[in-house]
Amino acid sequence: MANGTLTRADLTDAIFQALGISRNESSEFVERILEEVSLALEKGEAVKISSFGTFSIRQKKLRMGRNPKTGEEVPITPRRVVTFRASHVLKDQINKSLAGRSAAAAE
């Protein structure tokens, strides 16, 4: 991973190493999964990945905002946004990892 960000290339490489399939097949695998998630979200469906979390679409209404440079009020148009809610399994795993780091740093 470069700079703490997981990329498509990182996912492709992880699948390549774990499954031993070609890099091209690994890349196609990653692209197909992301395509399926995207298509489901475009249709307004929730995407639930067991032990990971749920992606869903939320409709935002028209609201007023401010241009930070001028302070002028401007309307923010209605739109759909993707939200993610982590599963309890993922949250617990992250918190255990952070607790382990804190304990190691304290020593």
Residue 72 amino acid letter: E
What pLDDT score was predicted for residue 99?
85
* In the predicted structure, residue 3 carries a pLDDT above the cut 80: no
Specify the pLDDT at position 105: 67
**pLDDT of residue 25 exceeding 90:** yes
Please determine, for residue 1, whether its predicted confidence score (pLDDT) is greater than 60.
no
Question: In whole angstroms, how far apart are CA 52 and each of 73, 87, 93?
Answer: 39, 5, 10
In angstroms, the CA 80 to CA 78 distance is: 7
> Cα(84)–Cα(89) distance, rounded to whole angstroms?
14
Tell me which CATH code domain 45-62+74-107 carries.
4.10.520.10
- Topology of domain 1-43 in CATH is HU Protein; Chain A (4.10.520)
pTM of the model as a whole: 0.75
